[in-house]
Amino acid sequence: MMNLDDTSTLSTTPKEEISQSSPGPQRRFLRIASWGIFSVVSLLVFTLLKLPNDRIGAYIESSISSVLVNRGIILSSEDSNLSLIFGPKYTMKKVTLTSSFPPLSVKLDEVNFSPALLPLFLGKMGGTLQIQQAGGVLKATGSFRENQTSFEFDSKQMDLGKTGLIPLAFGIQAGAILQGNGQIDLDPTDYTTLDTSLSAQLSQVSIDPQVIAGFQIPALNISEGSVDVKTDHGKLLISSVKLGKPGQTTDDIQASISGDITLGKKLESSTLNLKVRFSLSQNVLRSFVILDAILGSGKQADGSYLFTLKGPLLAPMPTPGE
């Protein structure tokens, strides 16, 4: 015969099992959210698959061209292809970038662009750009919103001289092989928000003879260089910026910079606290006969020059020595 205690045990056990097997509100929310995200992604993917490749490719190339045209650059390519496997990737081969100012033409072996889907559908630019030239690779990922720019890059033996990217970006005829990586996050309306780190090495740096800012610059060669900077609490910390190799007599410039820059809301309101040491070859000193006299106050016993730069970014006060 069953007593009351046994009946109570039998009646409560199934309820407890049901309670334990039922998902809690957090698990139900995650399950619903997961299915929602899957549905949106599936819709985007199947929409892309149903659209003609040439229409998608034309839209992507038009978007890239519109950005470049605003900077006076015209884009053209001999061959292009769109792949939708693992996300859209637009490949252009034998690419030519033509600029009217400065007047030059840049030729690249291959350019790949993988747009970020959501920014693209919302009319915003974002994605990954990869440039291949003469065995070197430069990969950059960026997103551009109303008041926020995020950018990161990774370079493997990219010959910037052969790509022509230096004269295109800075208007200077120069070349260098770039190896390294870095990232930047910035609100352009407030430079105190800058978050960046950069670690890069340069080799075979060269500057062609040319006129820069009204001065005739001779041919300059620098064997190597390195950059190591990062931000911390509103300051840009320059751990090391170096040009040239100590003891290398073929280097026209040997320089080292260390210190920090306190960032202001506007770039021009930033202040410097830097120590700069550099040496110049006879080739440079002969081209600027009064340069040694101008820099004489900071000349050291070994023939190098040493200055401390403090004050506003655009008008720092140089102080000879330490």
What secondary structure does DSSP assign to 27-71, as a single string? HHHHHHHHHHHHHHHHHHHHHHHHS-HHHHHHHHHHHHHHHHHTT
More confident residue, 274 or 3: 274
Question: What pLDDT sits at residue 256?
Answer: 96
CB 253 within 8 A of CB 280: yes
Tell me the pLDDT of the chain averaged across its residues. 82
CB 195 within 8 A of CB 230: no
Q: What is the pLDDT of residues 174-229, one digit of tens each?
A: 999 999 999 999 998 899 999 999 999 999 999 999 888 788 889 999 999 999 99
Which pLDDT score, from 0 to 100, does residue 7 have? 47
Query: Average pLDDT in the 119-134 region?
Result: 76
Give pLDDT tens digits for 61-98: 777 788 788 778 888 888 888 887 777 788 999 998 88
